[in-house]
Structure 1
Amino acid sequence: MSYPQDCWYVAATSDEVGDGLVSRRILDRSVLLFRLSDGSIAALEDRCAHRPYPLSAGHREDDLVVCGYHGCTYDASGRCVRMPGQDNPPWGAQVRAFPVLERAPFVWIWTGTPGGERLRPPPSTPWLQGDGWSSVGERRVVAADVVLLHEHYLDLTNVFEMHPELVPPGIEALPPLEEVIVSEMSVAYTRELPQAPLAPWEAKVSGLDRLESFGRRETGTFVTPGLHKQTYSIIGPDGPELELVRTHGFTPESSGVTHVFLQISWRGGSLSSDAGAQLAGVFHEMADRDVAVLETMQRCLDEDPTPRRYVNVKADRAALRARKIMQSMVEEERAD
């Protein structure tokens, strides 16, 4: 299965796009990003209309981009406004400009059907825009297909094997995945964990008494093919003591390679002074292990001489629903 084209994906984080030219491979397209003098962001096909040379290898003149091969010059709409050696550029001398929407910390891009972006706005992420939340993030390029990534994070039963130090003491298995909520374009599940003392990382981050017992609520949501959201709350007698949101922007570079834009967000009443640094370290190490497994699975798929049928289990319910949504989107686009 390929990946849906008609979807908003994260192209970059806001702090990546400044005065320079940023080149990125997105959905098998070379894209050039740059920030204009009014603060907005432009995104162009990273190819000169004259010859197959990347515009990102050129330079800027104010809000214009000059190709480093012959000097063909483009504005933010992709129109060639200057062609060396003649008074006017030839008719049709332009490159595609892609719709962009910046909602810090993410820069969203639409590379699908022109005009389709108006029908499907990018997902809302209010927890990344303040209101008591703090966030820290990182970007990775993972040699695994975007479908594998969504499936991996919709099934956290692997935590006991892959991340045992994160599990609260006394919890030996996750409750069965009984409730999966499915809409036309999204999949979500919720788990309530039994009361248990704090794991070492929970105590360090939350500032709570390690000897007390707390409940936990864990959710996972396939928001769109380009966004995955997980929440994890430590619940005290009066409500949440610590709320965490792990946000993944998944953007296919090509089949088998995915850009991952990770944001860890948190809020709580008695957090430690270095909660951000603690969380960044915990989830960075967790991502290292996840990536190693995901890239190994992709290599196994690539090495199989013929497609193999794997067994599904109850914990795969949400992952299989997400795969089905993505597959139906791809099939609909091919039919159109």
Structure 2
Amino acid sequence: MNYPKECWYVAATSDEVGEGFTARRIVDRPVVLFRLSDGSIAALEDRCAHRPYPLSAGHREGDLVVCGYHGCTYDATGRCVRVPSQDNPPSGAQVRAFRVVERGPFVWVWTGTAGGERLRPPPSTPWLQGDGWSSVGERRDVAANLLLLHEHYLDLTNVFEMHPELVPPGIEALPPLEEVEVSEVSVSYTRELPKAPLAPWEAQVSGLDSAESYGRKETGAFVTPGLHKQTYTITGSDGPELELVRTHGFTPESSGATHVFLQISWRGTAVAPDAGTQLAAVFHEMANRDIAVLETMQRCLDEDTTPRRYFNVKADRAAVRARRILTSMVEDERGPHHP
């Protein structure tokens, strides 16, 4: 296990959860989500308490969940309220119910120690709730562990090799990280690029004059193990022209697989009418290439029969700190006597 369990993770997007069942594996736990008649969302362990059969393979009776094996029936708190073969359910028969917070477009779930969610709320994402922002998103399943994804997006110097068409003309290298801020549980960095003409994708999304040169500011943040945020601002002579935020909800399925909930958000004085379509296409293709590399690295790690020591470079400053935080969180959860 190479990820912390005591954390809020994105279980689904709001539009994924309706009257039917949404089954997902989260931190190696089977979870089933469904929307109740009052509009709220319930999340239960996706296993009947009677026999190891998925509740998501059953059906609903109003706000109750009926197992498709013997008909054992559960309410939204996980309590077994009916066993068809006898008058009353066994005392204490229940499945675990998980705390859920819906903060569109994300549905957050806590599968860690019961009650631990009271110590901290899910991270705030105001740019995903309006105030001039628009967003488009998608969900991907990546056969790579959580740490690889965080490290990948905390070092964008790979853009010249992996995504050269996205680089503004005339910029041949990213400037060194100007500022890396570290707390006990988060890492962020800031980088400013020299003025340069627009890359083709920037011109399409913004509608700005391609003959002009613009400044750019880029930031990245390991907010929590379950959330990664990057910003990209194109600045003209009068200030920001276009602000972009790429939000990743990273949710471990297992040690070698991660659910990725991607949201691209934008606002500004220079926004093309079809910005959403353009951005969705650009970042979908970018994600395709990123995923291919990440899954290849995971296969290499799985194939290595002896530990290897890889060197770090200056551009890894933020990624190395994020690794330390994640490693420390995992070790704290294991406890001092864990082997």
TM-score normalized by the length of structure 1: 0.99
Amino acid at match of 1:311: F
Distance 1:260 1:183 in 2: 24
3-state SS of paired residue (2:11):
strand
Counterparts of 1:150-189 in structure 2, within 5 Å, are: 150-189=150-189
Worse-superposed segment, 98-107 or 172-181: 172-181
Distance 2:92 2:152 in 1: 45
3-state SS of paired residue (1:301):
helix
- Backbone CA RMSD of aligned residues: 0.8
Distance 1:252 1:100 in 2: 17
Q: Please, which runs of 5 or more residues in structure 2 have no aligned partner?
A: none
3-state SS of paired residue (1:93):
coil
Counterparts of 1:120-159 in structure 2, within 5 Å, are: 120-159=120-159
Report the counterpart of residue 274 of structure 1 in structure 2: 274
Amino acid at match of 1:326: L
Report the counterpart of residue 329 of structure 2 in structure 1: 329
Distance 2:126 2:178 in 1: 28
Q: Give 1:149 deviation, angstroms.
A: 0.1
Distance 2:311 2:323 in 1: 15
Q: Deviations over 1:59-81 (max 9, x none)?
A: 00000000000000000000000
3-state SS of paired residue (2:96):
coil
Distance 1:178 1:310 in 2: 24
Distance 1:304 1:85 in 2: 52
Q: Give 1:86 deviation, angstroms.
A: 1.2
* 1:45 and 2:67 aligned: no
Counterparts of 1:49-60 in structure 2, within 5 Å, are: 49-60=49-60
* 1:16 and 2:16 aligned: yes
Q: Give 1:18 deviation, angstroms.
A: 0.2
Amino acid at match of 2:254: S
3-state SS of paired residue (1:287):
helix
Q: Deviations over 1:223-267 (max 9, x none)?
A: 000000000000111111000000000000001100000000001
Q: Give 1:178 deviation, angstroms.
A: 3.6
Report the counterpart of residue 219 of structure 1 in structure 2: 219
Counterparts of 1:189-204 in structure 2, within 5 Å, are: 189-204=189-204
* 1:28 and 2:28 aligned: yes
Q: Please, which runs of 5 or more residues in structure 1 have no aligned partner?
A: none
Distance 2:121 2:272 in 1: 37
Distance 2:307 2:106 in 1: 36
Distance 1:49 1:18 in 2: 24
Q: Give 1:194 deviation, angstroms.
A: 0.2
3-state SS of paired residue (1:100):
strand
Q: Deviations over 1:68-110 (max 9, x none)?
A: 0000000000000001121110012100000000000000000
The number of equivalent residue pairs is: 336
3-state SS of paired residue (1:5):
coil
Distance 2:324 2:207 in 1: 41
Distance 2:18 2:226 in 1: 23
Q: Deviations over 1:91-150 (max 9, x none)?
A: 121000000000000000000011000101100000000000000000000000000000
Distance 1:206 1:237 in 2: 15
Q: Deviations over 1:279-316 (max 9, x none)?
A: 00000000000000000000010111111000100000
Distance 1:221 1:270 in 2: 25
Distance 1:307 1:41 in 2: 43
Distance 2:179 2:232 in 1: 17
Q: Give 1:270 deviation, angstroms.
A: 2.4
TM-score normalized by the length of structure 2: 0.98
Distance 1:2 1:270 in 2: 42
Report the counterpart of residue 307 of structure 2 in structure 1: 307
Distance 2:274 2:46 in 1: 41
Identity %: 83
Q: Deviations over 1:206-238 (max 9, x none)?
A: 010001000000000000000000000001111
Report the counterpart of residue 241 of structure 2 in structure 1: 241
3-state SS of paired residue (1:95):
coil
Report the counterpart of residue 88 of structure 2 in structure 1: 88
Q: Give 1:272 deviation, angstroms.
A: 1.1
* 1:61 and 2:57 aligned: no
Distance 1:104 1:312 in 2: 37
3-state SS of paired residue (2:120):
coil
* 1:252 and 2:252 aligned: yes
Q: Give 1:35 deviation, angstroms.
A: 0.2
